[in-house]
Amino acid sequence: MSGRARSERGLFERTVDGMRQAMERATSAEAGATAAGWMQRLDPRVKLAAVLALVAAVALSHRLDVIAALLAAGIAMAVTSRVPLSALASGVSLAAGAFAVALAAPALVLTPGRAVAVVPVAGWVVTAQGLMSACYLVLRAAAASTFGFLLVFTTPWAHVLKALRAFHVPVLFVAVLAMTYRYILLLLDSAHDMFVARRSRTVGRLTAATRRRLVAQSAGALLVKSLNMGNDVFLAMQARGYRGEVRVLDDFTMARTDWFALAAAAILAAVAVWVGR
């Protein structure tokens, strides 16, 4: 696509395309969940409990080196589970890290303390305490999102939902989470198809007012379509006996490896909290 053609695309169209690509990468996690990795062989309940314990350790640690060590442990778990590091870097971890950087940037100059640098042109003073606070926020976000990414990428989505029910998470929450995950994919595909159809029938360059009108009309049509589809899906699920419980053909059984992994995760989390207190 040429630079001129790319510039003529609206912001909303670029956003829809980007989100659709991101969700396509999310669906590829289903293939990664069947790989012959270490975490793929563990019981989903063990993985969920281990991830929650490690995320809690990340949140409770007050030392940068401990948080960095937990992040390194997450990366090592990804390598042994045959999770592509490119997917780990370009997925949720990168997005969470970028968001954390955006949130932490003001703390560099707003936190009082010892000055260590000055922002050129603006003249803002960067303090050592502000830099430390920003590092804590970014490292915590990167480590926590890495563990969450590992859980989703090494476990089929239905098994994640069933593991949540094993921990007595309310049925309503699990049902909403299941439908939201699948429904977002469907809506993004519908929105993308709508804009592709419009672009294929558009000749010449449209004015800004016309583009805004088309975006508003497309948003309204997508809203009506989503409401009708949601009602149809609900009635179809009710007719087939769905009452919120997640049922899969696989039964969860704890093996010796599962108990070892659960104990290792608990010990690692406890040591991280103790050392990082």
Q: What is the pLDDT of residues 8-18, one digit of tens each?
A: 455 556 656 66
Enumerate the β-bridge partners of residue 125: 118
Does the structure show a pLDDT above 70 at 243? no
CB 236 within 8 A of CB 33: no
Whole-model pTM over 0.75: no
Q: Residue ranges per domain, the chain?
A: 3-275
Q: Which of 38-42, 108-112, 225-229, 240-244 has the highest mean pLDDT?
A: 38-42
AA letter at 230: G
Q: Please, how many CA atoms are within 13 Å of residue 161, restricted to the half-sphere of its CB?
A: 20
Encode pLDDT of 218-234 as tens digits: 778 878 887 787 777 77
CB 184 within 8 A of CB 192: no
Does the structure show a pLDDT above 90 at 96? no
pLDDT for res 48: 92
Confidence tier at 1 by pLDDT (50, 70, 90): very low
